Structure 1
Amino acid sequence: MKRSILLLFFCACFRICQAQSVLDGSEEGKRGDFRLMFYNVENLFDCFDDTLTLDNEFLPMGVRNWTWEKYKKKSQKVAKVILAAGGWEFPDLIGLCEIENRFVLDGIFKIGYLNNTGYEIIHRESPDRRGIDVALVYQPETFHPIDTSFLRLIYEGDSISTTREILYVKGKTHTEDTLHIFVNHWPSRWGGQLESENRRISAAKLLKEKVSEILADNSNALIVIMGDFNDYPDNKSLHNELNAMSPEKEICNNKLYNLAHPFLNKTGIGSHKYHGIWGMLDQFIVSGALLNKSGVLYCEPNNMSLFKPAFLLETDHTYFGQKPFRSFVGYKFNDGFSDHLPIVLDLWRK
């Protein structure tokens, strides 16, 4: 009751009831028994200097003129998106990427706009040169972590890691199902897609190694992989190396299926827009056991949704149509939300 009253209060404050819209997913206002969300929040930095990372552009005197007031506005916007994406209940699990540190997470979930929502945080500082990390935020009423590890990615020929880790969390849900959760933010396409492809293939190999270990122990394991992969479902890293297939194929419990794969055939639909073209860089990948209803919780091939309310979009004056209402255009502060749209996955109870 307390959670529902609190959420109603926030909904009134943010006026999200009228704004919520889910494309290519469940009906507006309807959600499953367990909701997962992933969101690339586009450079959620504090405005303090970290001498161990390349964060100088996100300082008051940096090229982005990143002030305390801008940081607070950005944090409020992230909170608004989380509340809106939850519907009438909070998302049970939230994967986040492009967050700088624990301080900015606490600024939302512990002392900020969502401080009374009960969320707990799993995070650690990664070796990423820019200082950006991944995190998992969860509702302890519906998810209880029992094992956590951070998979460190070291490129071939290197001796140390210079990029963010893959976060792995094993936990029990309120239905007594065991979920294996992975939160990813794979290396960017900076320098060109083909030129940078080997870095994402390295990430896929690291992830595949851990997934294979889980499936070798339990072929019916319930696995959910979420993230910004900086590749599309049919690219080599995801399709060939990770072997995440289309859910339209025959479903085997111990195989992986990319729920974003069907979005490839939908013109004008995506989580990110680059040079006028929408694409699905943000994806949910699940084990066949979830699709085959091997546990109490399960999902259907079409249970992944792209969260696309009007307030997350703005007019695309260059390429026409709409585009994500981002925080920055180049180095100019645009006072938006992110250059990515969130994705949502609903699990249902048998």
Structure 2
Amino acid sequence: MAQHFVAFWNVENLFGPEDHPQRIPWVAERMARDLEGWSEALYARKQDRLAHVITRMNEGAGPDILGLCEVEDRFVLEDLKHRVGEELGRNYGIVHADNQHDKRGIDTAFLFDQGRYSVDPAHIFSHFVIRRTGTRDILQATFRTADDREVILLANHWPSRSGGAEKSAGFRATAGETLAYWHQRIREEARDKERACILALGDFNDDPFDPSLRFNANATRERGDVERAESPKFYNFTWEYLSTEAVDSQGNPRLLDGSLYYKNDGNLFDQILAARPLLDRGAAGFKAVAGSAGIFALPEMVSHRTGQGPIRFGLPKGDPARNINEEGFSDHFPVKILLEDG
């Protein structure tokens, strides 16, 4: 039975080099200080470190579909897909829509193996999330196999906790409502709503127990609630990886309690939400493999320091020697799940 390795990674500030000619002028102005010293060499090193991780996913075969956030534009995606595809011998395609709403100009995107899936450009949508100061859209794409199985993926990067979790909670509640709305609309428009395989993944900037996920996005830890619900609900696989056994960069065992760490505390902002058909074998084209959802953390990605998780790469901010760790990767771990043919 064919399996499909799907992952998502917030790659943290994957910007083109400092003098990147394709940079939007207002992004260049806003990011000038952070990108000061972001040389071609540092940019290439960042790409190499990301590719190092991605090519080791799926037992070294690489992901079949990879969702990404915090990417500047198609230029950096083309570079990443080339590095990854060349090493793996895969021909990756890109799903991307320029986001003009985010204040840093960062986007969500997908890389996908064109040998396994096709994507109809007419079925790519960028769903606007209302916020007066701007935020990322929710990117939707339909991936179809050669035998006509379809899975719809929604890439999320919800508003940050800048200014405090409570003060910014309303922004993520709005994002949750937007996701729930499009979950419902996709089902309504589907040829067979009971077979509509929908997977929402991303950096939600909230934990699975926060109201934005539980109430606004209708994402629950109870499979039975999802299976019995008359209106669309998501099953939140994140509850299955609240803690993850790992090995740190010095070879010591670590128990990770987050996909990122902030002020010595772990958070599980990187989540995987599945619609009901993905839970029910035989009801749809795909089914989520039991026990496959989790954090992907190579030892070299894991800090040995208590209270820290992923080893960051950073941005130069005018002082690369101080602010860049060329052995780092991102401030988030990727998350992953296996789907199999239903």
- Is the shorter-chain TM-score for this pair beyond 0.5, marking a shared fold? yes
2:108 aligned partner: 134
Shift in alpha-carbon separation, 1:32–1:82, aligned structure 2, 3 A? farther
Which of 122, 130, 145 does residue 119 from structure 2 map onto? 145
Matched, 1:121 2:94: yes
1:11 aligned partner: none
User: What amino acid is aligned across from residue 297 of structure 2 in structure 1?
Assistant: K
2:266 aligned partner: 278
User: What amino acid is aligned across from residue 135 of structure 1 in structure 2?
Assistant: A
2:291 aligned partner: 302
User: What amino acid is aligned across from residue 237 of structure 1 in structure 2?
Assistant: S
Shift in alpha-carbon separation, 1:131–1:261, aligned structure 2, 3 A? same
- Give, in whole Å, the separation in 2 of the partners of 1:134 and 1:278: 23
- Tell me the alpha carbon deviations over residues 48-77 of structure 1, each in whole angstroms, 9 at most, x when there is no partner: 254121221343xx2xx2111100000011
SS of match in other structure, 2:201 = strand
Shift of residue 309, structure 1, vs aligned partner? 1.3
TM-score w.r.t. length of structure 2 = 0.84
- Tell me the alpha carbon deviations over residues 188-243 of structure 1, each in whole angstroms, 9 at most, x when there is no partner: 00110011111111111111111111222413311100100000011011001111
SS of match in other structure, 1:193 = coil
Moved more, 39-48 or 251-260: 251-260
SS of match in other structure, 1:339 = coil
Does the CA contact (< 8 Å) of 1:45 and 1:58 recur in 2?
Answer: no
Shift of residue 269, structure 1, vs aligned partner? 2.3
- Give, in whole Å, the separation in 2 of the partners of 1:322 and 1:258: 25
Does the CA contact (< 8 Å) of 1:251 and 1:292 recur in 2?
Answer: no
Q: Percent identity?
A: 29
Shift in alpha-carbon separation, 1:303–1:275, aligned structure 2, 3 A? same
Matched, 1:246 2:237: no
Does the CA contact (< 8 Å) of 1:39 and 1:343 recur in 2?
Answer: yes
1:313 aligned partner: 302
1:334 aligned partner: 325
- Give, in whole Å, the separation in 2 of the partners of 1:230 and 1:132: 15
Shift of residue 262, structure 1, vs aligned partner? 3.1
1:4 aligned partner: none
- Tell me the alpha carbon deviations over residues 235-269 of structure 1, each in whole angstroms, 9 at most, x when there is no partner: 01100111101045444174310000233477742
- Give, in whole Å, the separation in 2 of the partners of 1:175 and 1:232: 37
1:232 aligned partner: 207
User: Would you identify which runs of 4 or more consecutive aligned residues in structure 1 move more than 4 Å?
Assistant: none
TM-score w.r.t. length of structure 1 = 0.82
Does the CA contact (< 8 Å) of 2:194 and 2:284 recur in 1?
Answer: no
- Unpaired runs of 5+ residues, structure 2, are 245-254, 318-322
SS of match in other structure, 2:257 = coil
- Tell me the alpha carbon deviations over residues 289-332 of structure 1, each in whole angstroms, 9 at most, x when there is no partner: 1111222421145321211110111222xxx2652111128951
- Give, in whole Å, the separation in 1 of the partners of 2:307 and 2:242: 19
- Tell me the alpha carbon deviations over residues 162-209 of structure 1, each in whole angstroms, 9 at most, x when there is no partner: 221110012312453211110011010011001111111111111111
2:16 aligned partner: 46
Matched, 1:324 2:313: no
- Give, in whole Å, the separation in 2 of the partners of 1:113 and 1:207: 30
Does the CA contact (< 8 Å) of 2:258 and 2:267 recur in 1?
Answer: yes
Q: In the comparison of the two structures, how many residue pairs are matched?
A: 308
- Give, in whole Å, the separation in 1 of the partners of 2:204 and 2:257: 17
SS of match in other structure, 2:85 = coil
2:336 aligned partner: 344
- Give, in whole Å, the separation in 1 of the partners of 2:75 and 2:316: 25
Does the CA contact (< 8 Å) of 2:260 and 2:266 recur in 1?
Answer: yes
Root mean square deviation of aligned Cα: 2.2
1:223 aligned partner: 198
Shift in alpha-carbon separation, 1:265–1:323, aligned structure 2, 3 A? closer
- Give, in whole Å, the separation in 2 of the partners of 1:221 and 1:192: 37
User: What amino acid is aligned across from residue 186 of structure 2 in structure 1?
Assistant: I
User: What amino acid is aligned across from residue 257 of structure 2 in structure 1?
Assistant: I
User: What amino acid is aligned across from residue 215 of structure 1 in structure 2?
Assistant: R
1:34 aligned partner: 4
- Give, in whole Å, the separation in 2 of the partners of 1:32 and 1:345: 14
1:13 aligned partner: none
Matched, 1:200 2:172: yes
SS of match in other structure, 2:168 = helix
Does the CA contact (< 8 Å) of 1:268 and 1:277 recur in 2?
Answer: no
SS of match in other structure, 2:173 = helix
SS of match in other structure, 2:57 = helix
